[in-house]
Structure 1
Amino acid sequence: MNKLKTIFIAALFETALVLCVGCANLLLKPIYYFFFYNVMYGILFSFLIPLFLLRKEENVFNFLGIKALGKKQFLILIVFVAFSVGGQLIPIMIKGGTIPWNLLPIGVVPLIMTTFFEEFLFRGFFQNKFETEFGSISAIILSGLMFSLYHIGYPGFRTFEDILLLFAVGIGFATAYKLSGNNLIVAYFVNLPNAFVTYMLKFDQFPKMTLSSTIAGIATLCIIIVVFIVHFRTNRNKR
């Protein structure tokens, strides 16, 4: 019963994410995009609802894998970042291609925000849930699958090839998370440089990054920080 419940919840979340991201990319006015992407997809479904579902956990931060980095975690982080970033940049550099670094500044804050939502939900929340019910290997596969399929909401990532590639990438993030001892910080900082590079090389497939998206991203990150502070203090007072 618990296994079916977990799969059902995952399916509901995945459907909600695709709908929210899809609406955000269909209704491109900044206010609509902010509502469906930052608020609905991000703050509500990728952050607040998972936190609420974990309210009975004795230590939510431990469950999510929010903990300090050790030598092992740093090593895994370096290896995975070198592989993911180098695998994209080195072939282009060898061929003498141009890397559009000028695109990066406007994408930094939105990508920092989106990467947090992805790792918090797919790794911190669902991968741990899946591991409890189905074991480590299945958890890695299911986490990677959810990560790839939610990108269907983005018009630029709906081809079979893109979803398959994102599945492989999601498996990599999930593996880094598991090998590091379920450390969400490792998964986040493996994902983030990869997101930066992917954006620069495939910027035409991403939603258009603007000053308004940066401002919205800053506001969203401030909300996340406030919620974390309140949650931390509440947990500390309970002990």
Structure 2
Amino acid sequence: MKEAANSGKGKTLLISAGIEIMLIICITAANLNPTPILYFVFYNLLYGLVCSLFIPLYCLYKENGVPASGSVLAEAGFKKPGIRQWVVLAVFVVFSVGGQLIPKMAVGEQIPWRLLPMGIAPLIMTTFFEEFLFRGFVQSRIDRQFGWVSAILVSGAMFSLYHLGYPGFRTWEDILLLFAVGIGFATAYKLSGNNLIVSFFVNLPNAFVTYILKYEQFPVMRVSSNIAAAVTLVLIVLILLSCYHCVRSGAHGVRS
């Protein structure tokens, strides 16, 4: 029993490290020659759909089996939020977003809100991939096998280090700041009872604000980026709906 548990822990760490390396490689490749088609292939498809969604879903289904009565998606954090979850969400959004905007607005600094519309769809897409992978998949597994402190640290570290793939976030200052931000997202996920909806909506406003304040560090957002992100978001919804119906049909098959 103990050997099986240790083997499971080693497998979790190996999968997490392997995915992290693939993320950095894919994002780096996407930004080397960011033509619309190559960016879509390396970023939206390989980094996003393959590494951040398909591989975690495959691992979860291999562990739980298809007729798991919804446990696969629930394990990844797809849970209905309650009062506790809404409180956690509100507190973290106020502190993270307010902490960035209020000091600048207090001294009369102009906030370039005009930049936001072009970044909405790509940031929604990227935020989903981040939260599903780092919180829903990695943190939930590490929490179960190593404890919540290790889970928060690993989740925060992976969130920080994967930004090495982005040319604008490769300084030590950025990596350390992103580690602190990742710890915050991971803490919100834990305090919400591992609720992916909460961590997603804690991350998303922060991503919007960070983009408009540090847009020069982000990949250039074009019309093609928004079209590609919209297509990818539709694919995400279709994949998750397929998983949901697959789980339900499997559960009905078991009962019958």
The number of aligned residues is 239
2:115 maps to which of 88, 93, 103: 103
Indicate the residue corresponding to 1:69 in structure 2. Answer: 81
**Residue in 2 that maps onto 1:28:** 34
| Structural mapping, 1:86-97, within 5 Å | 86-97=98-109
Specify the SS of the correspondent of 1:54. helix
Q: Which residue of 2 aligns with 1:48?
A: 54
Unaligned runs of 5+ in 2: 1-6, 252-256
Map 1:80-229 to 2 at 5 A. Answer: 80-229=92-241
**Structure 2: distance between partners of 1:237 and 1:6:** 28
- TM (norm. structure 2) is 0.92
1:230 to partner: Cα distance: 1.1
- C-alpha distance in 2, partners of 1:170/1:233? 32
- Which is greater in Rg? 2
Moved over 6 A (4+): none
Residue of structure 2 equivalent to 1:13:
19
- RMSD over equivalenced CA pairs, Å: 0.7
Q: Which residue of 1 aligns with 2:4?
A: none
1:2 Cα deviation after fit: 2.2
Shift, 1:7, TM fit? 1.3
User: In the alignment, residue 23 of structure 1 is paired with which amino acid?
Assistant: A
Range 2-11 or range 208-217, more displaced? 2-11
| Distance across 2 between alignment mates of 1:6 and 1:64 | 15
What displacement does 1:94 show? 1.0
Equivalent residue letter for 1:101: W
Match of 2:3 in 1: none
Distance 1:49 1:61 in 2: 14
Could you tell me which amino acid in structure 1 is paired with residue 163 of structure 2?
A: H
Q: Give the stretch that moved more between structures: 201-210 or 1-10.
A: 1-10
Q: Give the aligned residue type for 1:211.
A: V
